[in-house]
Amino acid sequence: MFAANDHHLSATRFAIPTGVLALVAVASWSIFFVAPTEATMGDVQRIIYLHVAVAWCGLAAMIALGLCGGAYLVSRRLSWDFWSQALCEVGCLGTFLTLVTGSAWAHEAWGTWWTWEPRLTSSLVMWIMYCGMLLIRSSIEEPQRRARVGAVLAIIGVGDVPLVLMATRWFRGVHPVSPEMDPTMRVVLLTSLVSFTAVFAYLATMRRRQLEIADQVVELEAIA
């Protein structure tokens, strides 16, 4: 009975919240059935609602990653490094999806899957940074040293955020700065942003909890 209750508690604790599922459902429905069809690109334009949302999540994760890295360097608490690891993984996913959805949109808008346009290039650099941080972190076994190196790399990585955000204003490129959108389109875009932010925040929170539990297991095994 005790084991069964523990299993039920664990399953409940890691279940996807109903609110997050509802947000995803509303956003998906809005993208396909509420947002009007764009006159020039047609239904392909709907990629934008996903592209902008995951791009925001990738950028937000990098900023949060840098803040957690700074918090670790100040406090030397590994709990901040658990957040850093989780945010790095989630941010890597968000930036990868940004590149994939951006390439799909570019193929229809510009007739090519990829061009070394400033914003695309700076986004690729961010994804490479994420991958590099994950690779370096996985190569360091000692927790405190891994946290220190990860924190420094995270703070450096934040430097790419303004470059991605301002690339279309600082450099000449084909990526639109801020395209005109129908008011209904803007509402759908905002709904998608909120939805994906909730999903990525949930993923980061669950991954952070998993890392904390794994660390506790290692400590118990060392004592035993």
Helices 47-75 and 183-223 pack at an angle, to 10 degrees, of 40
Helices 143-158 and 47-75 pack at an angle, to 10 degrees, of 130
Average pLDDT over residues 137-151: 95
Please say whether the beta carbons of 94 and 61 come within 8 A. Answer: yes
What pLDDT, on a 0 to 100 scale, did the predictor assign at position 95?
97
Q: How many residues does the chain have?
A: 224
Range among 16-20, 171-175, 183-187, 200-204 rated most confident: 200-204
For 156, the token pair is 């450096």
Average pLDDT over residues 122-149: 95
Q: What is the mean pLDDT of the chain?
A: 86
Average pLDDT over residues 59-63: 96
What pLDDT, on a 0 to 100 scale, did the predictor assign at position 10?
44
Quick: pLDDT tens for 19-54: 888 999 999 999 998 988 877 777 888 899 999 999
The CA distance from 94 to 111, in Å, is 24
The CA distance from 215 to 213, in Å, is 5
Among 177, 16, 196, 178, residue whose Cα is nearest residue 91: 196
pLDDT band per the 50, 70, 90 thresholds, residue 154 = very high
pLDDT of 5 higher than 80: no
What percent of the chain has a predicted confidence (pLDDT) above 70? 88
What pLDDT, on a 0 to 100 scale, did the predictor assign at position 173?
59
The CA distance from 187 to 113, in Å, is 28
pLDDT band per the 50, 70, 90 thresholds, residue 7 = very low
Average pLDDT over residues 143-168: 91
The CA distance from 105 to 222, in Å, is 51
What pLDDT, on a 0 to 100 scale, did the predictor assign at position 177?
62
The CA distance from 169 to 81, in Å, is 34
Helices 118-138 and 78-109 pack at an angle, to 10 degrees, of 150
The CA distance from 140 to 85, in Å, is 13
The CA distance from 40 to 43, in Å, is 9
Domain boundaries, the chain: 41-223
The H-or-E segment that residue 60 falls in is helix 47-75
CA distances from 134 to 73, 85, 89 (A): 18, 8, 7
